[in-house]
Amino acid sequence: MADQRPLILVTNDDGILSPGLRVLAEAARQLGEALVVAPDREMSAVSHAITLHRPIRILETTEGHALTGTPVDCAYMGIHHIAPRRPDLVVSGVNLGPNLGSDVLYSGTVAAAREGTIQGLPSIAFSLASRDREPLAKLAPALATLMRAVLTNGLPPGITLNVNFPRVTADPPEFRATRLGRRAYSAEVVRRLDPRGQEYLWIGGGMPELEDTPETDTAAIRSGAVSVTPIPLFAVRDEDLRHLAAWSLFGPNGN
């Protein structure tokens, strides 16, 4: 209803106790009513996992509703079960660490926002390209600006906004509309022994290199701008369908 303040569903993948969640909820409260529904523990890099084969429980905490589930469970339950009315906006984060380029495929932060998009709601994922928590304290104005912009302008159907903040966000912030860039991961697998002498493996090593192609999210972060990327849910391109059409597999009239 037009006379109601916007209802903003706030979730994340770092868990209900994350300082990034608290900052985002506080920024949301500047614009409307914040409904916090987040995993009861760290759930980073679970991508778009949804819980279908075990029970989900809700714990009421001072931070909000804590679910024994994934970030996507939180968005889904928040929208369809916990919210007193249909939310006006879904926001996820602020993740402690970047979600740039192919990170968005692994990210629980981005997946929770994408679930909002699937459910037909404008949705934004927020990440801080720093492991340092200190910059979080200064993000509230920029978070509110971006949420207000989406509430005012809406988003095209099927588009999730993926926002990354640099380590230092200028005042006023420089917002840059970007494409997904590439991050060059080391392809490293670390092999170690646990205290009982059993081998274990750990994926990944150091921080990945950022691609510097203009217009990319990675380049924006490198130059200290706030990266704002409109990510489509599905992107099947005409040129790829034409490529498949040429395969004998599909026959002379195949498409």
Beta strand 65-67 with 58-60 is: antiparallel
Q: Among the candidate windows 30-38, 39-47, 139-147, 206-214, which touches Mn ion by CB under 5 A?
A: 39-47
Q: Among the candidate windows 3-11, 42-50, 231-239, 245-253, which touches Mn ion by CB under 5 A?
A: 42-50
Is 103 among the residues that bind Mn ion (CB under 5 A)? Answer: no
Among 8, 9, 13, 165, binds Mn ion (CB under 5 A): 13
Q: Among the candidate windows 36-44, 78-86, 143-151, 173-181, which touches Mn ion by CB under 5 A?
A: 36-44
On whether the CB atoms of residues 52 and 29 are closer than 8 A, the answer is no
Rounded to the nearest whole angstrom, what is the least distance from the CB of residue 253 to Mn ion in the complex? 48
Is 218 among the residues that bind Mn ion (CB under 5 A)? Answer: no
Is 88 among the residues that bind Mn ion (CB under 5 A)? Answer: no
Closer residue to Mn ion in complex, CB, 82/94: 94
The helix/strand/coil state of 182 is coil
Rounded to the nearest whole angstrom, what is the least distance from the CB of residue 20 to Mn ion in the complex? 8
On whether the CB atoms of residues 224 and 170 are closer than 8 A, the answer is yes
Q: Which two tokens stand for residue 5?
A: 């303040």
Closer residue to Mn ion in complex, CB, 32/98: 98
Closer residue to Mn ion in complex, CB, 31/128: 128
Q: What string of DSSP letters covers 62-123?
A: SSSEEESS-HHHHHHHIIIII-SS--SEEEEEEEES---TTHHHH-HHHHHHHHHHHTT--E
Q: Among the candidate windows 8-16, 24-32, 143-151, 209-217, which touches Mn ion by CB under 5 A?
A: 8-16
Rounded to the nearest whole angstrom, what is the least distance from the CB of residue 95 to Mn ion in the complex? 4
Give the 3-state secondary structure percentages of the chain, helix then strand then coil, rounded to 5: 30, 25, 45
Is 95 among the residues that bind Mn ion (CB under 5 A)? Answer: yes
Q: Which residues contact 17 (CB under 8 A, 6 or more apart)?
A: 63
Among 10, 11, 14, 115, binds Mn ion (CB under 5 A): 14
Beta strand 89-96 with 123-128 is: parallel
**Nearest-angstrom CA–CA distance, 115 and 29:** 22
Task: Quote the DSSP letter at residue 23.
Answer: H
Is 44 among the residues that bind Mn ion (CB under 5 A)? Answer: yes
Closer residue to Mn ion in complex, CB, 43/180: 43
- Contact residues toward Mn ion (CB under 5 A) are 13-14, 44, 95
